[in-house]
Structure 1
Protein backbone atom coordinates (compact mmCIF):
# COMPACT_ATOMS: atom_id res chain seq x y z
CA UNK A 1 0.00 0.00 0.00
CA UNK A 2 1.23 3.49 -0.79
CA UNK A 3 1.81 5.28 2.54
CA UNK A 4 1.48 8.70 0.89
CA UNK A 5 -2.19 9.78 0.81
CA UNK A 6 -3.90 10.95 -2.37
CA UNK A 7 -6.16 14.00 -2.45
CA UNK A 8 -8.28 15.31 -5.34
CA UNK A 9 -8.12 19.07 -5.77
CA UNK A 10 -11.57 19.12 -7.34
CA UNK A 11 -12.88 17.97 -3.93
CA UNK A 12 -11.46 21.06 -2.21
CA UNK A 13 -14.62 23.11 -2.61
CA UNK A 14 -18.31 22.38 -2.28
CA UNK A 15 -20.87 23.43 -4.88
CA UNK A 16 -21.37 26.78 -3.12
CA UNK A 17 -17.66 27.63 -3.48
CA UNK A 18 -16.75 27.16 0.17
CA UNK A 19 -13.89 24.87 1.19
CA UNK A 20 -14.95 21.34 2.03
CA UNK A 21 -14.31 20.37 5.69
CA UNK A 22 -13.49 16.75 4.85
CA UNK A 23 -10.89 17.79 2.28
CA UNK A 24 -9.40 20.26 4.76
CA UNK A 25 -9.10 17.58 7.45
CA UNK A 26 -7.40 15.15 5.09
CA UNK A 27 -5.05 17.90 3.93
CA UNK A 28 -4.21 18.90 7.51
CA UNK A 29 -3.40 15.33 8.55
CA UNK A 30 -1.23 14.72 5.49
CA UNK A 31 0.71 17.99 5.79
CA UNK A 32 1.20 17.58 9.55
CA UNK A 33 1.94 13.87 9.89
CA UNK A 34 3.86 13.19 6.66
CA UNK A 35 4.50 16.49 4.89
CA UNK A 36 3.80 14.77 1.54
CA UNK A 37 0.69 13.88 -0.46
CA UNK A 38 -0.34 13.07 -4.01
CA UNK A 39 -2.70 15.49 -5.75
CA UNK A 40 -4.95 14.49 -8.64
CA UNK A 41 -7.70 16.24 -10.64
CA UNK A 42 -5.91 19.57 -10.42
CA UNK A 43 -7.13 21.06 -13.70
CA UNK A 44 -4.61 19.99 -16.34
CA UNK A 45 -6.04 20.24 -19.84
CA UNK A 46 -6.44 17.25 -22.16
CA UNK A 47 -3.00 16.07 -23.19
CA UNK A 48 -1.23 18.84 -21.25
CA UNK A 49 0.79 16.53 -19.01
CA UNK A 50 1.89 14.29 -21.86
CA UNK A 51 2.86 17.30 -23.98
CA UNK A 52 5.03 18.60 -21.14
CA UNK A 53 6.63 15.20 -20.56
CA UNK A 54 7.36 14.78 -24.26
CA UNK A 55 8.91 18.22 -24.79
CA UNK A 56 11.04 17.75 -21.67
CA UNK A 57 12.37 14.49 -23.11
CA UNK A 58 13.12 16.29 -26.37
CA UNK A 59 15.12 18.89 -24.46
CA UNK A 60 17.35 16.26 -22.89
CA UNK A 61 17.70 14.59 -26.31
CA UNK A 62 19.26 17.76 -27.75
CA UNK A 63 22.98 17.48 -28.54
CA UNK A 64 25.17 18.15 -25.50
CA UNK A 65 26.56 21.32 -27.06
CA UNK A 66 23.02 22.70 -27.44
CA UNK A 67 22.30 22.15 -23.74
CA UNK A 68 25.69 23.56 -22.71
CA UNK A 69 24.85 26.71 -24.71
CA UNK A 70 22.36 27.41 -21.88
CA UNK A 71 25.00 26.81 -19.18
CA UNK A 72 23.74 28.14 -15.84
CA UNK A 73 27.29 29.24 -15.01
CA UNK A 74 26.78 32.12 -17.46
CA UNK A 75 23.73 33.36 -15.52
CA UNK A 76 24.17 35.47 -12.37
CA UNK A 77 20.54 34.55 -11.57
CA UNK A 78 21.12 30.76 -11.34
CA UNK A 79 19.04 30.15 -14.49
CA UNK A 80 19.79 27.70 -17.27
CA UNK A 81 21.25 24.23 -17.80
CA UNK A 82 23.10 22.44 -15.01
CA UNK A 83 25.41 19.69 -16.20
CA UNK A 84 25.28 16.19 -14.77
CA UNK A 85 26.79 16.16 -11.29
CA UNK A 86 27.04 19.93 -10.90
CA UNK A 87 24.26 20.56 -8.37
CA UNK A 88 25.24 19.88 -4.78
CA UNK A 89 22.86 18.47 -2.15
CA UNK A 90 23.90 17.49 1.37
CA UNK A 91 27.48 18.32 0.39
CA UNK A 92 27.71 15.83 -2.50
CA UNK A 93 27.03 16.04 -6.26
CA UNK A 94 23.67 14.83 -7.55
CA UNK A 95 23.37 12.39 -10.45
CA UNK A 96 21.08 14.67 -12.43
CA UNK A 97 21.10 17.31 -15.14
CA UNK A 98 18.44 19.96 -15.32
CA UNK A 99 17.11 23.23 -16.69
CA UNK A 100 16.30 25.86 -14.04
CA UNK A 101 13.85 28.68 -14.76
CA UNK A 102 11.67 31.20 -12.95
CA UNK A 103 9.42 34.20 -13.56
CA UNK A 104 10.54 35.94 -16.76
CA UNK A 105 11.60 39.34 -15.41
CA UNK A 106 14.36 41.83 -16.20
CA UNK A 107 17.47 41.70 -14.05
CA UNK A 108 17.94 44.25 -11.29
CA UNK A 109 21.23 46.13 -11.67
CA UNK A 110 23.63 45.47 -8.80
CA UNK A 111 23.75 49.21 -8.09
CA UNK A 112 20.00 49.09 -7.41
CA UNK A 113 20.00 46.15 -5.02
CA UNK A 114 18.56 47.02 -1.64
CA UNK A 115 19.50 43.50 -0.54
CA UNK A 116 21.58 40.72 -2.16
CA UNK A 117 18.62 38.46 -2.92
CA UNK A 118 17.56 40.85 -5.73
CA UNK A 119 20.10 39.00 -7.87
CA UNK A 120 17.63 36.10 -8.04
CA UNK A 121 15.40 38.11 -10.38
CA UNK A 122 16.35 37.89 -14.03
CA UNK A 123 15.78 36.32 -17.45
CA UNK A 124 15.69 32.63 -18.27
CA UNK A 125 17.66 30.73 -20.89
CA UNK A 126 15.62 28.75 -23.43
CA UNK A 127 16.59 26.76 -26.57
CA UNK A 128 14.16 28.78 -28.69
CA UNK A 129 15.87 28.11 -32.01
CA UNK A 130 16.19 24.34 -31.65
CA UNK A 131 13.11 23.66 -29.51
CA UNK A 132 10.69 26.62 -29.83
CA UNK A 133 7.81 24.70 -28.29
CA UNK A 134 9.58 24.24 -24.94
CA UNK A 135 9.11 27.77 -23.60
CA UNK A 136 5.32 28.10 -24.22
CA UNK A 137 4.64 24.56 -23.01
CA UNK A 138 6.53 25.15 -19.76
CA UNK A 139 4.93 28.57 -19.29
CA UNK A 140 1.45 27.09 -19.67
CA UNK A 141 2.39 24.51 -17.02
CA UNK A 142 3.71 27.10 -14.57
CA UNK A 143 0.57 29.20 -15.10
CA UNK A 144 -1.53 26.16 -14.16
CA UNK A 145 0.57 25.30 -11.11
CA UNK A 146 0.48 28.88 -9.89
CA UNK A 147 -3.32 28.52 -9.74
CA UNK A 148 -2.98 25.12 -8.04
CA UNK A 149 -0.45 26.46 -5.55
CA UNK A 150 -2.68 29.41 -4.71
CA UNK A 151 -5.66 27.14 -4.09
CA UNK A 152 -3.55 24.91 -1.85
CA UNK A 153 -2.34 27.88 0.20
CA UNK A 154 -5.98 28.86 0.74
CA UNK A 155 -6.85 25.34 1.84
CA UNK A 156 -3.81 25.07 4.11
CA UNK A 157 -4.69 28.34 5.82
CA UNK A 158 -8.27 27.18 6.32
CA UNK A 159 -7.25 23.79 7.71
CA UNK A 160 -5.24 25.64 10.38
CA UNK A 161 -8.32 27.63 11.38
CA UNK A 162 -7.19 30.81 9.59
CA UNK A 163 -9.00 32.86 6.94
CA UNK A 164 -8.27 31.21 3.60
CA UNK A 165 -6.62 34.42 2.30
CA UNK A 166 -4.16 34.50 5.21
CA UNK A 167 -1.07 33.89 3.04
CA UNK A 168 -2.17 36.00 0.06
CA UNK A 169 -0.21 39.09 1.09
CA UNK A 170 3.02 37.10 1.20
CA UNK A 171 2.55 36.04 -2.42
CA UNK A 172 1.00 39.22 -3.83
CA UNK A 173 0.82 39.47 -7.62
CA UNK A 174 4.41 38.33 -8.14
CA UNK A 175 5.27 35.12 -6.27
CA UNK A 176 8.86 33.98 -6.72
CA UNK A 177 8.27 30.43 -7.91
CA UNK A 178 10.95 28.54 -9.78
CA UNK A 179 10.94 25.35 -11.81
CA UNK A 180 13.22 22.54 -12.92
CA UNK A 181 13.18 20.10 -15.81
CA UNK A 182 15.21 17.20 -14.42
CA UNK A 183 16.77 14.03 -15.79
CA UNK A 184 18.53 11.56 -13.51
CA UNK A 185 21.18 9.38 -15.13
CA UNK A 186 22.63 6.14 -13.79
CA UNK A 187 26.33 5.59 -14.50
CA UNK A 188 28.63 2.57 -14.40
CA UNK A 189 30.98 4.56 -12.18
CA UNK A 190 28.34 5.05 -9.47
CA UNK A 191 29.48 3.67 -6.15
CA UNK A 192 27.67 3.10 -2.84
CA UNK A 193 27.82 6.84 -2.06
CA UNK A 194 26.02 7.83 -5.27
CA UNK A 195 22.82 9.84 -4.93
CA UNK A 196 20.13 10.97 -7.30
CA UNK A 197 19.55 13.82 -4.88
CA UNK A 198 20.86 13.75 -1.33
CA UNK A 199 18.68 14.10 1.78
CA UNK A 200 17.28 17.63 2.09
CA UNK A 201 14.20 19.72 2.78
CA UNK A 202 12.91 22.21 0.21
CA UNK A 203 13.41 25.86 1.14
CA UNK A 204 10.26 27.29 -0.45
CA UNK A 205 6.61 27.13 0.59
CA UNK A 206 5.19 24.21 -1.40
CA UNK A 207 6.73 21.85 -3.96
CA UNK A 208 4.60 20.38 -6.75
CA UNK A 209 6.42 17.60 -8.59
CA UNK A 210 5.45 15.65 -11.69
CA UNK A 211 7.42 12.40 -11.64
CA UNK A 212 7.58 9.59 -14.18
CA UNK A 213 6.86 5.92 -13.53
CA UNK A 214 10.45 4.92 -12.66
CA UNK A 215 10.30 5.77 -8.95
CA UNK A 216 13.14 6.48 -6.55
CA UNK A 217 11.75 9.40 -4.55
CA UNK A 218 11.72 8.68 -0.80
CA UNK A 219 10.65 10.66 2.26
CA UNK A 220 11.44 10.35 5.95
CA UNK A 221 8.42 11.66 7.88
CA UNK A 222 8.91 13.44 11.19
CA UNK A 223 9.60 11.24 14.18
CA UNK A 224 10.35 8.32 11.84
CA UNK A 225 13.70 6.65 11.26
CA UNK A 226 12.88 4.74 8.09
CA UNK A 227 12.57 6.05 4.54
CA UNK A 228 9.25 5.46 2.76
CA UNK A 229 8.75 5.34 -1.00
CA UNK A 230 6.81 8.15 -2.66
CA UNK A 231 5.66 5.73 -5.32
CA UNK A 232 4.46 7.21 -8.62
CA UNK A 233 0.71 7.66 -9.06
CA UNK A 234 -0.29 8.11 -12.69
CA UNK A 235 -1.28 11.67 -13.50
CA UNK A 236 -0.68 12.90 -9.93
CA UNK A 237 1.46 15.68 -8.58
CA UNK A 238 3.60 14.98 -5.52
CA UNK A 239 3.13 17.89 -3.11
CA UNK A 240 5.37 18.50 -0.13
CA UNK A 241 5.72 21.20 2.51
CA UNK A 242 8.69 23.59 2.30
CA UNK A 243 10.74 25.25 5.01
CA UNK A 244 8.91 28.58 4.79
CA UNK A 245 5.62 26.90 5.63
CA UNK A 246 7.27 25.07 8.52
CA UNK A 247 8.57 28.41 9.82
CA UNK A 248 5.11 29.99 9.50
CA UNK A 249 3.37 27.21 11.44
CA UNK A 250 5.84 26.73 14.34
CA UNK A 251 6.70 23.35 12.88
CA UNK A 252 3.10 22.09 12.91
CA UNK A 253 3.40 21.58 9.17
CA UNK A 254 6.77 20.01 8.51
CA UNK A 255 9.29 20.32 5.69
CA UNK A 256 9.97 16.61 5.48
CA UNK A 257 13.44 15.43 4.54
CA UNK A 258 13.46 13.53 1.25
CA UNK A 259 15.91 12.12 -1.27
CA UNK A 260 16.06 10.52 -4.72
CA UNK A 261 17.86 7.21 -5.12
CA UNK A 262 20.31 6.90 -8.01
CA UNK A 263 19.13 5.20 -11.19
CA UNK A 264 20.60 1.89 -12.18
CA UNK A 265 23.51 2.21 -14.60
CA UNK A 266 22.37 3.30 -18.08
CA UNK A 267 18.83 4.02 -16.82
CA UNK A 268 17.24 7.48 -16.61
CA UNK A 269 14.42 9.08 -14.68
CA UNK A 270 12.61 12.31 -15.57
CA UNK A 271 10.72 14.73 -13.35
CA UNK A 272 9.45 18.30 -13.49
CA UNK A 273 9.53 20.35 -10.30
CA UNK A 274 7.62 23.53 -9.46
CA UNK A 275 8.53 25.31 -6.25
CA UNK A 276 5.76 27.70 -5.21
CA UNK A 277 7.14 30.46 -3.05
CA UNK A 278 6.17 33.95 -1.88
CA UNK A 279 7.59 37.30 -2.93
CA UNK A 280 11.31 37.60 -2.28
CA UNK A 281 10.77 40.27 0.38
CA UNK A 282 7.96 38.39 2.13
CA UNK A 283 8.34 37.57 5.81
CA UNK A 284 6.22 34.66 6.98
CA UNK A 285 5.48 35.51 10.58
CA UNK A 286 4.33 32.63 12.80
CA UNK A 287 0.59 32.13 12.49
CA UNK A 288 -1.77 31.97 15.47
CA UNK A 289 -2.65 28.34 16.09
CA UNK A 290 -5.53 27.02 18.13
CA UNK A 291 -4.50 25.48 21.47
CA UNK A 292 -5.26 22.02 20.06
CA UNK A 293 -2.90 22.50 17.11
CA UNK A 294 -0.28 24.42 19.08
CA UNK A 295 0.08 21.44 21.45
CA UNK A 296 1.43 19.48 18.47
CA UNK A 297 3.67 22.21 17.03
CA UNK A 298 7.22 21.35 18.17
CA UNK A 299 8.85 24.47 16.73
CA UNK A 300 11.06 24.77 13.69
CA UNK A 301 13.67 22.12 12.97
CA UNK A 302 17.01 23.95 12.88
CA UNK A 303 20.33 22.60 11.68
CA UNK A 304 23.61 24.41 12.22
CA UNK A 305 24.51 24.03 8.54
CA UNK A 306 21.08 25.21 7.37
CA UNK A 307 19.55 27.96 9.54
CA UNK A 308 15.98 28.79 8.53
CA UNK A 309 15.52 32.49 7.82
CA UNK A 310 12.20 34.39 8.07
CA UNK A 311 12.58 36.44 4.85
CA UNK A 312 12.03 34.24 1.84
CA UNK A 313 14.64 35.96 -0.34
CA UNK A 314 17.36 35.32 2.23
CA UNK A 315 16.37 31.68 2.55
CA UNK A 316 16.28 31.29 -1.23
CA UNK A 317 19.65 32.93 -1.81
CA UNK A 318 21.24 30.72 0.84
CA UNK A 319 19.83 27.68 -0.92
CA UNK A 320 21.03 28.67 -4.40
CA UNK A 321 24.55 29.46 -3.18
CA UNK A 322 24.79 26.14 -1.35
CA UNK A 323 23.46 24.15 -4.33
CA UNK A 324 25.34 25.93 -7.13
CA UNK A 325 28.71 27.01 -5.75
CA UNK A 326 30.21 27.39 -9.23
CA UNK A 327 27.67 30.05 -10.18
CA UNK A 328 28.11 31.82 -6.84
CA UNK A 329 31.89 31.82 -7.06
CA UNK A 330 31.89 33.14 -10.64
CA UNK A 331 29.30 35.90 -10.28
CA UNK A 332 28.96 36.60 -6.56
CA UNK A 333 32.25 35.75 -4.85
CA UNK A 334 31.42 37.97 -1.90
CA UNK A 335 28.38 35.83 -1.17
CA UNK A 336 29.95 32.43 -1.72
CA UNK A 337 31.46 31.90 1.75
CA UNK A 338 29.35 29.32 3.62
CA UNK A 339 29.67 31.21 6.90
CA UNK A 340 28.09 34.39 5.51
CA UNK A 341 25.27 35.70 7.68
CA UNK A 342 22.02 36.68 5.98
CA UNK A 343 20.38 39.09 8.39
Structure 2
Protein backbone atom coordinates (compact mmCIF):
# COMPACT_ATOMS: atom_id res chain seq x y z
CA UNK A 1 0.00 0.00 0.00
CA UNK A 2 1.08 3.59 -0.61
CA UNK A 3 0.30 6.54 1.60
CA UNK A 4 0.36 10.29 1.28
CA UNK A 5 2.33 12.14 3.95
CA UNK A 6 -0.69 14.24 4.77
CA UNK A 7 -4.21 13.38 5.68
CA UNK A 8 -5.30 11.99 2.33
CA UNK A 9 -5.72 8.25 2.61
CA UNK A 10 -5.90 7.84 -1.16
CA UNK A 11 -5.50 4.19 -2.05
CA UNK A 12 -2.83 3.23 -4.55
CA UNK A 13 -5.42 1.72 -6.91
CA UNK A 14 -7.49 4.90 -7.02
CA UNK A 15 -4.39 7.07 -7.28
CA UNK A 16 -3.11 5.20 -10.33
CA UNK A 17 -6.35 5.85 -12.21
CA UNK A 18 -4.90 8.93 -13.88
CA UNK A 19 -7.70 9.23 -16.45
CA UNK A 20 -10.21 9.54 -13.64
CA UNK A 21 -8.22 12.36 -12.05
CA UNK A 22 -7.80 14.21 -15.35
CA UNK A 23 -11.53 13.85 -16.13
CA UNK A 24 -12.35 15.15 -12.66
CA UNK A 25 -10.11 18.18 -13.20
CA UNK A 26 -11.69 18.79 -16.58
CA UNK A 27 -15.21 18.65 -15.16
CA UNK A 28 -14.31 21.13 -12.43
CA UNK A 29 -13.00 23.59 -14.99
CA UNK A 30 -15.85 23.16 -17.48
CA UNK A 31 -18.37 23.90 -14.72
CA UNK A 32 -16.75 27.29 -14.18
CA UNK A 33 -15.22 29.06 -17.22
CA UNK A 34 -13.72 27.17 -20.15
CA UNK A 35 -10.88 29.46 -21.20
CA UNK A 36 -7.49 28.83 -22.74
CA UNK A 37 -5.84 29.79 -19.47
CA UNK A 38 -7.78 27.16 -17.57
CA UNK A 39 -7.05 24.56 -20.24
CA UNK A 40 -3.38 25.39 -19.81
CA UNK A 41 -3.77 24.85 -16.07
CA UNK A 42 -5.26 21.41 -16.73
CA UNK A 43 -2.29 20.55 -18.93
CA UNK A 44 0.17 21.68 -16.27
CA UNK A 45 -1.60 19.75 -13.51
CA UNK A 46 -1.78 16.68 -15.75
CA UNK A 47 1.98 16.88 -16.25
CA UNK A 48 2.46 17.07 -12.49
CA UNK A 49 0.20 14.03 -12.04
CA UNK A 50 2.31 12.17 -14.62
CA UNK A 51 5.37 12.91 -12.53
CA UNK A 52 3.57 12.13 -9.31
CA UNK A 53 3.20 8.52 -10.38
CA UNK A 54 6.99 8.14 -10.51
CA UNK A 55 7.10 7.91 -6.74
CA UNK A 56 10.16 6.93 -4.69
CA UNK A 57 10.15 3.72 -2.71
CA UNK A 58 11.90 4.92 0.43
CA UNK A 59 12.31 1.53 2.11
CA UNK A 60 16.06 1.26 1.25
CA UNK A 61 16.58 4.65 2.90
CA UNK A 62 14.55 3.73 5.98
CA UNK A 63 16.49 0.48 6.40
CA UNK A 64 19.87 2.24 6.46
CA UNK A 65 19.04 5.48 8.30
CA UNK A 66 21.21 6.34 11.32
CA UNK A 67 23.91 3.90 10.20
CA UNK A 68 27.45 5.24 9.64
CA UNK A 69 27.78 3.76 6.13
CA UNK A 70 24.36 4.83 4.82
CA UNK A 71 25.96 7.52 2.62
CA UNK A 72 27.76 4.81 0.62
CA UNK A 73 24.80 2.47 0.19
CA UNK A 74 23.67 2.30 -3.45
CA UNK A 75 20.04 1.73 -2.50
CA UNK A 76 20.08 4.84 -0.31
CA UNK A 77 21.76 6.92 -3.02
CA UNK A 78 19.09 5.86 -5.53
CA UNK A 79 16.34 7.07 -3.18
CA UNK A 80 18.27 10.30 -2.58
CA UNK A 81 18.42 10.98 -6.33
CA UNK A 82 14.68 10.32 -6.66
CA UNK A 83 13.85 12.63 -3.75
CA UNK A 84 16.09 15.31 -5.23
CA UNK A 85 14.41 15.09 -8.63
CA UNK A 86 10.91 15.03 -7.15
CA UNK A 87 11.55 18.12 -5.03
CA UNK A 88 13.13 20.05 -7.89
CA UNK A 89 10.64 19.10 -10.62
CA UNK A 90 7.28 18.61 -8.92
CA UNK A 91 7.80 20.06 -5.46
CA UNK A 92 6.19 17.09 -3.72
CA UNK A 93 6.22 13.32 -3.84
CA UNK A 94 4.11 10.23 -3.15
CA UNK A 95 5.85 7.86 -0.76
CA UNK A 96 5.90 4.10 -1.13
CA UNK A 97 7.60 1.63 1.18
CA UNK A 98 6.89 3.88 4.17
CA UNK A 99 6.58 0.98 6.62
CA UNK A 100 3.45 2.25 8.37
CA UNK A 101 1.27 -0.85 8.93
CA UNK A 102 -1.79 -1.17 6.71
CA UNK A 103 -3.70 -2.37 9.77
CA UNK A 104 -3.05 0.92 11.58
CA UNK A 105 -4.03 2.98 8.54
CA UNK A 106 -7.28 1.02 8.35
CA UNK A 107 -8.00 1.59 12.04
CA UNK A 108 -7.30 5.31 11.74
CA UNK A 109 -9.67 5.59 8.78
CA UNK A 110 -12.40 3.70 10.60
CA UNK A 111 -12.16 5.71 13.82
CA UNK A 112 -12.16 8.93 11.79
CA UNK A 113 -15.41 7.96 10.07
CA UNK A 114 -16.95 7.07 13.42
CA UNK A 115 -16.13 10.51 14.80
CA UNK A 116 -17.55 12.42 11.85
CA UNK A 117 -20.70 10.28 11.98
CA UNK A 118 -21.39 11.52 15.52
CA UNK A 119 -24.06 14.18 16.18
CA UNK A 120 -22.84 17.77 15.90
CA UNK A 121 -23.42 18.29 19.63
CA UNK A 122 -20.85 15.58 20.35
CA UNK A 123 -18.24 16.80 17.87
CA UNK A 124 -18.43 20.43 18.98
CA UNK A 125 -17.18 19.44 22.44
CA UNK A 126 -13.67 19.84 21.02
CA UNK A 127 -14.47 23.00 19.04
CA UNK A 128 -11.55 25.02 17.71
CA UNK A 129 -11.04 28.53 19.06
CA UNK A 130 -8.21 31.00 19.73
CA UNK A 131 -8.18 29.74 23.33
CA UNK A 132 -7.34 26.22 22.14
CA UNK A 133 -4.37 27.39 20.06
CA UNK A 134 -6.53 26.91 16.96
CA UNK A 135 -6.65 23.18 17.59
CA UNK A 136 -9.86 21.19 17.45
CA UNK A 137 -13.02 20.70 15.44
CA UNK A 138 -14.36 22.87 12.61
CA UNK A 139 -17.91 22.36 11.41
CA UNK A 140 -18.92 22.01 7.76
CA UNK A 141 -18.35 25.28 5.89
CA UNK A 142 -16.52 27.01 8.75
CA UNK A 143 -13.15 26.95 7.03
CA UNK A 144 -12.90 29.66 4.34
CA UNK A 145 -10.75 29.40 1.22
CA UNK A 146 -10.62 32.23 -1.33
CA UNK A 147 -13.64 33.81 0.31
CA UNK A 148 -15.85 30.72 0.06
CA UNK A 149 -16.72 28.05 2.65
CA UNK A 150 -15.07 24.66 2.20
CA UNK A 151 -17.48 21.74 2.13
CA UNK A 152 -15.75 19.65 4.73
CA UNK A 153 -15.47 19.38 8.49
CA UNK A 154 -12.15 18.83 10.17
CA UNK A 155 -10.03 18.44 13.27
CA UNK A 156 -6.82 20.47 13.25
CA UNK A 157 -3.83 19.11 15.18
CA UNK A 158 -0.40 20.68 15.71
CA UNK A 159 2.71 19.89 17.65
CA UNK A 160 1.93 20.64 21.31
CA UNK A 161 3.61 23.86 22.46
CA UNK A 162 4.41 24.90 26.01
CA UNK A 163 3.70 28.40 27.27
CA UNK A 164 6.51 30.77 26.29
CA UNK A 165 8.28 28.17 24.11
CA UNK A 166 8.63 30.64 21.24
CA UNK A 167 8.00 33.84 23.18
CA UNK A 168 5.37 36.22 21.82
CA UNK A 169 5.94 34.89 18.29
CA UNK A 170 4.31 31.53 19.02
CA UNK A 171 1.83 32.56 21.70
CA UNK A 172 -1.25 32.06 19.48
CA UNK A 173 -0.27 28.43 18.84
CA UNK A 174 0.43 27.39 22.42
CA UNK A 175 -1.51 24.47 23.81
CA UNK A 176 -2.23 20.78 23.39
CA UNK A 177 -4.37 18.92 20.89
CA UNK A 178 -8.03 18.31 21.65
CA UNK A 179 -9.15 14.69 21.42
CA UNK A 180 -12.75 13.48 21.58
CA UNK A 181 -13.88 11.11 24.31
CA UNK A 182 -15.85 9.20 21.70
CA UNK A 183 -14.67 7.03 19.99
CA UNK A 184 -12.70 5.92 23.02
CA UNK A 185 -9.65 4.79 21.01
CA UNK A 186 -9.47 7.94 18.85
CA UNK A 187 -6.64 9.61 20.79
CA UNK A 188 -4.46 6.51 21.14
CA UNK A 189 -4.72 5.62 17.44
CA UNK A 190 -4.01 9.17 16.28
CA UNK A 191 -1.03 9.59 18.59
CA UNK A 192 0.40 6.27 17.40
CA UNK A 193 -0.09 7.33 13.78
CA UNK A 194 1.47 10.76 14.42
CA UNK A 195 4.49 9.17 16.11
CA UNK A 196 5.14 6.91 13.13
CA UNK A 197 4.70 9.78 10.67
CA UNK A 198 7.16 11.94 12.60
CA UNK A 199 9.77 9.19 12.52
CA UNK A 200 9.12 8.61 8.81
CA UNK A 201 9.53 12.33 8.12
CA UNK A 202 12.77 12.43 10.15
CA UNK A 203 14.28 9.66 8.06
CA UNK A 204 13.10 11.16 4.77
CA UNK A 205 14.72 14.45 5.82
CA UNK A 206 17.99 12.55 6.16
CA UNK A 207 17.64 11.65 2.49
CA UNK A 208 16.83 15.24 1.56
CA UNK A 209 19.85 16.44 3.55
CA UNK A 210 22.04 14.11 1.48
CA UNK A 211 20.39 15.38 -1.71
CA UNK A 212 21.40 18.92 -0.72
CA UNK A 213 25.00 17.83 -0.21
CA UNK A 214 25.01 17.84 3.58
CA UNK A 215 25.38 15.12 6.21
CA UNK A 216 22.30 13.04 7.07
CA UNK A 217 21.83 14.75 10.45
CA UNK A 218 21.64 18.27 8.95
CA UNK A 219 18.00 18.75 9.95
CA UNK A 220 18.29 17.23 13.42
CA UNK A 221 19.35 18.61 16.79
CA UNK A 222 18.84 22.30 17.52
CA UNK A 223 18.39 23.23 13.86
CA UNK A 224 15.22 21.25 13.15
CA UNK A 225 15.10 18.30 15.53
CA UNK A 226 11.80 19.33 17.08
CA UNK A 227 10.09 20.57 13.95
CA UNK A 228 6.57 21.95 13.90
CA UNK A 229 4.08 19.55 12.33
CA UNK A 230 0.47 19.90 11.24
CA UNK A 231 -2.21 17.27 10.72
CA UNK A 232 -5.73 17.99 9.49
CA UNK A 233 -8.29 15.20 9.82
CA UNK A 234 -10.97 15.86 7.19
CA UNK A 235 -14.49 14.54 6.77
CA UNK A 236 -16.38 15.09 3.51
CA UNK A 237 -20.18 14.84 3.48
CA UNK A 238 -21.92 12.62 0.94
CA UNK A 239 -23.23 14.34 -2.18
CA UNK A 240 -26.88 14.23 -3.17
CA UNK A 241 -26.84 14.82 -6.92
CA UNK A 242 -24.93 17.76 -8.36
CA UNK A 243 -23.50 20.11 -5.75
CA UNK A 244 -21.50 23.28 -6.22
CA UNK A 245 -18.55 23.49 -3.87
CA UNK A 246 -15.17 25.01 -3.30
CA UNK A 247 -12.47 22.79 -1.87
CA UNK A 248 -8.90 23.17 -3.01
CA UNK A 249 -7.76 20.37 -0.71
CA UNK A 250 -9.05 17.44 -2.72
Q: TM-score, normalised by structure 1?
A: 0.51
What CA distance in whole angstroms lies between the structure 2 residues aligned with 1:75 and 1:118? 11
Partner of 2:209: 157
Say whether residues 1:133 and 2:185 are aligned partners: yes
Partner of 1:119: 172
Q: Secondary structure at the match of 1:35?
A: coil
Instruction: Tell me which structure has the larger Cα radius of gyration.
Output: 2
Deviations 1:178-221 (A, max 9, x none): 21110123556843xx2222xxxxxxxxxxxxxxxxxxxxxxxx
Runs of at least 5 residues in structure 2 that lack an aligned partner in the other structure: 1-17, 19-48
Partner of 1:184: 236
Return closer, same or farther for 1:46/1:113 CA change in 2, 3 Å cut-off: closer
Q: Secondary structure at the match of 2:156?
A: strand
Q: CA deviation at 1:156?
A: 0.7
Q: CA deviation at 1:13?
A: 5.7
Partner of 1:83: 139
More off after superposition, 10-19 vs 73-82: 10-19
Say whether residues 1:195 and 2:246 are aligned partners: yes
Deviations 1:225-281 (A, max 9, x none): xxxxxxxxxxxxxxxxxxxxxxxxxxxxxxxxxx42xxxxxxxxxxxxxxxxxxxxx
Return closer, same or farther for 1:94/1:148 CA change in 2, 3 Å cut-off: same
What CA distance in whole angstroms lies between the structure 2 residues aligned with 1:171 and 1:41? 24
What is the RMSD of the two structures over their aligned residues, measured on CA atoms?
Answer: 2.5
What CA distance in whole angstroms lies between the structure 2 residues aligned with 1:40 and 1:138? 21
Q: CA deviation at 1:83?
A: 0.8
Partner of 1:280: none
What CA distance in whole angstroms lies between the structure 1 residues aligned with 2:206 and 2:96? 17
**Which structure has greater strand proportion?**
1
Return closer, same or farther for 1:13/1:187 CA change in 2, 3 Å cut-off: closer
Partner of 1:25: 81
How many residues of Structure 1 are paired with residues of Structure 2 in the alignment?
Answer: 192
Partner of 2:120: 64
**Which structure has greater helix proportion?**
2
Q: Secondary structure at the match of 1:171?
A: coil
Deviations 1:75-99 (A, max 9, x none): 3400110111111223332111101
Partner of 1:225: none
Partner of 2:36: none
2:109 pairs with 35, 53, 65, which one? Answer: 53
Deviations 1:261-314 (A, max 9, x none): xxxxxxxxxxxxxxxxxxxxxxxxxxxxxxxxxxxxxxxxxxxxxxxxxxxxxx
Matches within 5 A, 1:250-265: 259-260=249-250
Q: TM-score, normalised by structure 2?
A: 0.68
